[in-house]
Amino acid sequence: MKKAIVIGASSGIGEAVARVLANNGYEVGLTARRFELLEKLQKEIPSRTYIRRMDVTRREETAATLEDLIKEMSGLDLIVLNAGINVSTPDLKHEKELETVDVNVSGFVLCADIALKYFTAQKSGHIVGISSIAGLRGSATCPAYSASKAFVSNYMEGLRHRVRSTDIYVTDIRPGFVDTEMIKGFRHLFWVAQPLGAAEQIFSAIKNKKKMAYITRRWNIMAWLLRWMPDWMYAQRYRERI
């Protein structure tokens, strides 16, 4: 039986991915800050599960917890790095911006590097990072979030080149809008996917060892538009929001 760990599995995309992996025969390790939600999820998942409380901003504790979890599971084939936050504030409070960077960048790097070290020794494995279509352009309402997701995508690309010619795979997942807590209160939403549907597409990308995938697939169109949209047109989107 294959074994996977989902970092940030208590709700949203992470929870849905954990369910899909379990339904497809994986033993699943689940980590998050909200342990009580992991306990609830563990009771609902059909396969064998392991749960750990983890706050990726606590670096030494996170490293020890992840390494111990891999040992308890007696191996690892796949890790999904989903822990992330998005704080949108009109006055850009620096403490919230720094918290976003601490979780989405520093916490991500820590978990990715531990996984890479393990997979390198094992000579096989699959690292999946959840970035965002928001990483394609800077955001006036949540600049730290969009910058952090651009970091994730670029870091994943770097890891992919680093493990070329090996049996280690790296997949960058770029969701659009998914109906989770993260988008509550946002206006002008469209193409909003349900978490389970998004997770099924993520699993398809994992099975096919995709380098990168937009979730849902229609966001390929928006990604193309965002890349080529003139700066003045892109900036117009924010004039009514700030």
Q: How many CB atoms lie within 10 A of CB 31?
A: 27
For residues 43 and 37, the answer to whether their CB atoms sit within 8 Å is: no
For 239, phi and psi rounded to 5 degrees? -65, -30
Amino acid present at 221: I
For residues 119 and 168, the answer to whether their CB atoms sit within 8 Å is: yes
Cα torsion through 197, 200, 201, 207, rounded to 10: 180
Whole-angstrom distance, CA of residue 93 vs CA of residue 33: 23
Q: Known catalytic residue: 155? A: no
Point out the catalytic residue in the list 145, 155, 169, 214.
Answer: 145
Matching residue, tokens 């820590």: 110
Q: Give me the active site residues, please.
A: 145
